[in-house]
Amino acid sequence: MTELSNIIITEEEIRNRIKEIGSQVSKDYEGKELVMVCVLKGAAVFVSDLMRAINIPAVCVDFLSISSYAERSEAGAVRILKDLDIDITNRDVLVVEDIIDTGFTLGYLLRILKARTPASLKVAVLLDRPALRIVDLPVAYKGFEIPEEFVVGYGLDYNQKYRNLPYICLLKTKK
């Protein structure tokens, strides 16, 4: 018996939307050097497609990894498990994340990255679940808004599984 339920965003819809976001990013950063910061592991699939949809020549990519919900203290603090290799001081930085839910994860991350004084700091998320937002954050590029249900695929996991699915789909066992 599978845990997977309906596909809510198809492979083709993702591909088309990423093309649009890539064009917009290319326009917005024309003539600049862009540092894309991928939040592991969820955004790995998104960043690899998005960076290839951007046609400015000077794109760097770097990765960081933060503690997941399960690893967090009761206060909900997010910890950096693997930091960036690149120094982002005075660089134009685009943080790439899989999904923004309450906003705690990104809110925390943006505070840390801002303290390193980048020239600019923006956010691209594949998925936005606005119904559950607690921390309000500026999101420059957004793929899709989704309903309250838990989703997997295209980088997003449930117990580390299903990141390989090329579409976004609902899970039967989790709300």
Q: Which does 151 bind (CB under 5 to 8 A by kind): Mg ion, ligand IMP, none?
A: ligand IMP
Give CA 42 to chain center in angstroms: 7
Residues numbered 146-165 forming contacts with ligand IMP, rule: CB under 6 A: 150-152, 156-157
Three-state SS string over 99-130 comes to: EECCCHHHHHHHHHHHCCCCCEEEEEEEEECH
Site string for ligand IMP, 30-59 (x = CB under 6 A): ------------x-----------------
**How far apart are alpha carbons 50 and 169 in whole angstroms?**
20
DSSP class of 71: G
Q: Which of 92, 98, 101, 128 is labelled catalytic?
A: 101
Q: Which helix (H) or strand (E) holds 24?
A: helix 11-28
Residues numbered 17-46 forming contacts with Mg ion, rule: CB under 5 A: 42
- Scanning 21-29, 48-56, 84-92, 101-109 for contacts with ligand IMP by CB under 6 A, the matching segment is 101-109
Q: Which residues bind ligand IMP (CB under 6 A)?
A: 42, 97-106, 150-152, 156-157
